[in-house]
A = this chain, B = another copy of it.
Amino acid sequence: MSTEIKAYGASDKAADLEPMTIKRREVGPKDVKIEITYCGVCHSDIHQVRNDWKNSVYPVVPGHEIIGHVVAVGENVKKFKEGQLVGVGCMVDSCRECSSCKDDLEQYCENGMVPTYNGKDKHLGGHTFGGYSEMVVVDQDFVLTIPENLDQKAVAPLLCAGITTFSPLNHWGVKEGDKVGIIGLGGLGHMGIKFANAMGAHVVMITTSPDKAKDAKRLGAHEVLISKDEEAMKEHTGSFDFLLNTVPVGHDINPYINLLKRDATMVLVGAIEPLDAVHGGGLVMGRKRVAGSLIGGIAETQEMLDFCGEHNIVSDVEMINMDNINEAYDRVTSSDVKYRFVIDMNSLKN
């Protein structure tokens, strides 16, 4: 049993996104049916649409920064009720049985979590479809509560860009007084600045572009370090307690390793591709660490949203209508957005 609904997607990797019809399952006993009001545009939407990671299944209906209202709930759903404002992020299911799932880290599910789009659909067969659509039906365990005091349009990007940057800052214990560097000022980096600032850190925006300095300070950075300025980089050598590297492509991380204090960690969240050659000596001298981090588990995503409610943190967004999506993709690709596009999903209905 399923319902046909309106969506927007790409039929192959060369295609622009265009209107299409997809199926959603009926509401099961543990399901929440959500009418989507807003959906953020993540860089990985573009990678998937263009098959950059060689795992896309067409048609691709992207979107994993979903905000909406509950319109129906299954008979066993206790946590949510009709009318409530909720969110859905990058996952809609996982095995629930492996050690990662039991540790509330469904994003590392050893049997493979189910991505919100382009994942394997256990209910209808085929693959999952994302938030560039009217409506979605999701298991209650993968639905998040949105603090009512926040602007819901600007909350959407928290479901991916937010948790991707909050989780490593939280997991590696960034605290008041730490000197924290956020490398790269885009959709991820701008959230990293806001979170690190709210956690009480001394926040340094590290960027190649001097023209980003003013905006970085508006977002909460206390200092800006231009990574091309060798003298400035030398002054900051060995001084950082933590580095969050949001650069979305392979690059040379050695100059950033030099910035770490002894025993400090740089976490990569953007570059899921080969990096330039790392010099082993840079890690050995100072017992430094490079790690990776992938979004966050459902419990930590809720913790992040509650933290945002408490500290009044949202994303800086630019609103678009559904039919502006192809132009928006071009602008994301050329880093021409401050800092996240959000689609007004009402525009799909017309």
Interface residues, chain A, with chain B CB atoms under 8 Å away = 99-100, 105, 108, 110, 171, 238, 250, 262, 265, 268-294
Whole-angstrom CA separation of A270 from B283 in the bound complex: 11
Question: Given B108, B273, B279, which contacts A274 in the complex, CB threshold below 8 Å?
Answer: B279
Q: Which of A238, A282, A292 has the most CB of B within 10 A?
A: A292
Complex contact B262–A273 (CB within 8 A): no
| A275 with B272, Cβ < 8 A, contacts A108-B262, A288-B292 known | no
**How many copies make up the complex?**
2
Are A287 and B238 in contact, with the CB atoms below 8 A?
no
Which are the 6 A-B pairs with shortest beta-carbon distances? A283-B292, A284-B292, A272-B281, A271-B280, A274-B277, A289-B291
Q: Shortest CB–CB separation between residue A292 and chain B, in angstroms? A: 3
Minimum CB–CB distance for A224 against chain B, Å: 24
Complex Cα gap A263–B275 (Å) = 20
Task: Judge whether B262 and A283 touch: CB under 8 Å.
Answer: no
Name the residue on B nearest A274 (C-beta).
Answer: B277
- Given the interface pairs A238-B110, A262-B105, the reply to whether A284 lies near B293 with Cβ below 8 Å is yes
- Chain B residues near A268 (CB-CB < 8 A): 280, 283-284
Are the CB atoms of B277 and A277 closer together than 8 Å? yes
A279: nearest chain-B partner, CB-CB: B274
Check B287 against A290 for contact (C-beta < 8 Å). no
- Known pairs A105-B287, A283-B291, A285-B292; list 13 more (Cβ under 8 Å): A108-B286, A250-B277, A250-B280, A272-B285, A274-B280, A275-B278, A278-B290, A282-B292, A283-B290, A286-B292, A289-B289, A289-B290, A290-B290
Residues on B with beta carbons closer than 8 Å to the beta carbon of A105: 262, 287
Contact B280 A277 (CB under 8 A): no
Q: Are B277 and A287 in contact (CB under 8 A)?
A: no
CA separation between A286 and B110, bound complex, in Å? 9
Please give the distance in Å from A301's CB to the nearest CB on chain B.
15
- Contacts A110-B238, A262-B108; is A274 near B278 (CB within 8 Å)? yes
Q: How far is the CA of A206 from the CA of B130 in the complex (A)?
A: 42
Which residues on B sit within 8 Å (CB–CB) of A110?
238
CB nearest to A110 among chain B residues: B238
Which residue of chain B is the closest to A282 with respect to CB atoms?
B292
